[in-house]
Amino acid sequence: MSQISKFGLDHHGVINAAATHWNQGAERLYEDTVKLGLGTISEGGALVVETGKYTGRSANDKFIVEEESSRDNIWWGPVNKPIASENFDSMRIKMLAYYQGRELYVQDVYAGADPQFRLSVRVITDSPWHSLFVRNMFIPVPAAEVPDFVPEVTILHAPMMNSDPAVDGVNSEAFIMMNFGERMMLIGGTRYAGEIKKSIFGYLNYLLPERGVLPMHCSANIGSDGAASIFFGLSGTGKTTLSADGTRALIGDDEHGWSDNGIFNFEGGCYAKVINLSQEAEPEIYATTKRFGTVLENVVIDPVTRVPNFDDGSLAENSRASYPIDFIDNIVPEGKGGQPANVVMLTADAFGVLPPISRLSADQAMYHFLSGYTARVAGTERGVTEPQATFSTCFGAPFMPRHPSVYAKMLGERIAKTGAKCWLVNTGWSGGAYGTGTRMKIAHTRAMVRAALDGRLAEVAESADPNFGLLIPSACPDVPADVLQPRTTWQDKSAYDSMAGELRGRFEDNFKQFEEYVDDGVKKAGIYKAA
């Protein structure tokens, strides 16, 4: 069966390539990566690559073309920065010229496990290992469908082609440009593969609300009873850890859609952070790093033995492993689940004042979804001990082209329609703020989440938290009762009250930007400064 689509590259303006490699698997892409000096092979068989200067997303280099079909639907600002159509067109011409005389690699893939809502994507690149990354991370088109494949969106990718900021209207040599009207994205000047993945997510996050689907930056799993749950959370809150529960099957760990059919994974693979990865703590992910087909990004390997050293962060603290999701046991192969029974929002509260678990009303869920709160320590400099509040609306602001209220309204409608129970889980600090208190024990957090998902917490009495209006369960199996009430874990109760008051103020100040977009119920469910 031919692996070449009848919808050729000439439709994208690509001509005079030295050779075009269509929908190649790992074997050929490994071979070419090594031949071109772009990577090596580890002791376990993974492909090891480096991305140089750019080892993570370059938010300042991402732009959306200001064009008629999408202009009025974009949430313009620091996250979604505009660029003129003329700049996009000139950069596309430069990329097409760059492609001439080069070997190109094409992957035709689907983004979205539900055929009703999936996006047909074509990624064209001159880097073989990036082509393998695309094949790992999304859903390869079955061979029988390849000849008639027509992409809905196309990505032109040239990681080693730099832009000229003075001429191209961008901020550095790196550029990520999204043009919804042209259904095309341009990525160049950065070898960090995550830009491809997040660009496709951004496109879906723009497209799917028009189709009645809520796109979500979340993980999802399903229990033995068939009930699905979703987990929202920013980096460092435990989203991947808590969803990868051995007692539940993983649907996906990063991006999902929620439709009338239920929830579905956007991806066909995983892009796991592997700094300090150990076989003991995360055996399933560790096992994938020993497999042929996995791409290890910015992982240091021994020059003689070729054994990866996951504790060495000299190349990047954001070292990654890209692998197909079926490299992990206990997954949902079809990447779909029914209507979620539970919605869990994760926060790592470095102030140490939020309850470790609390039940949310639908209005509170919308409020916390729009807030997207977590916290981190301000820095590692001597004397810096104050936690810093961080708000990322919808738990994924960098990937949300539309106004947050669009996604929040859809979430509220989905919760109301399905009756999903909503929870706020604090995976941060207890007994004091960062520097004084201690991090929540993962065993306690996992016990609380399991009790919430299997219905046991619904059977216990609740009390309202006086500061944040959250309903706290009076008891939870395998968790000491005093852990559940945050104030009781602090020796200095007045210090707790002061810190809680400070966080309340930060919530109120942050939410002012959304007040005009929500109804009175959500406003009343909000968190406000003490009178």
pLDDT in tens, 425-434: 999 999 999 8
Question: Can you read off the two tokens belonging to residue 250?
Answer: 């993983």
- Residues with Cβ < 8 Å from 445, sequence gap 6 or more? 238, 242, 356, 357, 425, 427
The answer to whether residue 63 scores a pLDDT higher than 60 is: yes
Q: How confident is the model at residue 2 (pLDDT cuts 50, 70, 90)?
A: low
What's the pLDDT tens digit per position in 439-485?
999 889 999 999 999 999 988 999 999 999 999 999 999 999 999 99
The answer to whether residue 362 scores a pLDDT higher than 80 is: yes
Q: What percentage of residues in the chain have a pLDDT greater than 90?
A: 89
The answer to whether residue 503 scores a pLDDT higher than 90 is: yes
Q: How confident is the model at residue 375 (pLDDT cuts 50, 70, 90)?
A: confident
Angle (CA) 97-100-103 rounded to 5° is 135
Q: How confident is the model at residue 379 (pLDDT cuts 50, 70, 90)?
A: very low
Q: Are 136 and 322 within 8 A, CB to CB? A: yes
Give the pLDDT of residue 531: 65
Q: How confident is the model at residue 377 (pLDDT cuts 50, 70, 90)?
A: low
Residue range 508-524: mean pLDDT, rounded: 96
Quote the mean pLDDT of the chain.
Answer: 94
Give the pLDDT of residue 386: 59
What's the pLDDT tens digit per position in 251-284?
998 999 999 999 999 999 999 889 889 998 788 8
118-132, 142-156, 377-391, 514-528 — which is least confidently predicted? 377-391
* Strand bridging mode 103-111 / 119-125: antiparallel
Give the pLDDT of residue 385: 45
Helical spans, DSSP H, in 337-441 = 362-371, 404-418
Residue range 76-89: mean pLDDT, rounded: 97
Domains of the chain (ranges, CATH numbers): 9-38+61-212 (3.40.449.10), 342-524 (3.90.228.20)
Give the pLDDT of residue 273: 87
Give the pLDDT of residue 172: 97
Return the beta strands (E) in 361-496 as ranges. Answer: 373-377, 387-391, 421-426, 429-430, 438-439, 462-464, 471-473
Q: What are phi and psi of 354, to 5 degrees?
A: -80, 145
Helical spans, DSSP H, in 208-256 = 239-243
Give the pLDDT of residue 387: 63
Give me the active site residues, please.
57, 198, 217, 235, 239-240, 254, 320
Give the pLDDT of residue 236: 74
